[in-house]
Amino acid sequence: MNNLQKKELLKRNFKKLKENKNDQKIISFKELNITFQRETFEVYRALNGGAKCE
């Protein structure tokens, strides 16, 4: 395999990975009907130094 073929293969693989990444869907807890108790968020804030979570 020469350098040009390697370059084309890398380009193709990169494009394929990028397309696959764009096809992924972010699923929210709300969509999965998962709820958390208020205490869960308070513990999370304490562990993460006051990180915000709504």
Amino acid at 28: S
In a domain, 7, yes or no: yes
Answer whether 0.75 is exceeded by the pTM: no
Domain interval for residue 39? 3-47
In a domain, 53, yes or no: no
Q: What is the pLDDT of residue 52?
A: 57
In a domain, 52, yes or no: no
pLDDT in tens, 31-53: 778 777 777 777 777 776 665 55
Q: What is the pLDDT of residue 53?
A: 53
In a domain, 27, yes or no: yes
In a domain, 54, yes or no: no
In a domain, 34, yes or no: yes
In a domain, 35, yes or no: yes
Contact 53, 47 (CB under 8 A): no
Cα separation values, 13 from 6, 7, 22, 31, 47, Å: 10, 10, 14, 32, 40
Burial of residue 23 (CB within 10 Å: 0-12, 13-18, 19+) is exposed
In a domain, 13, yes or no: yes
The structural domain count of the chain equals 1
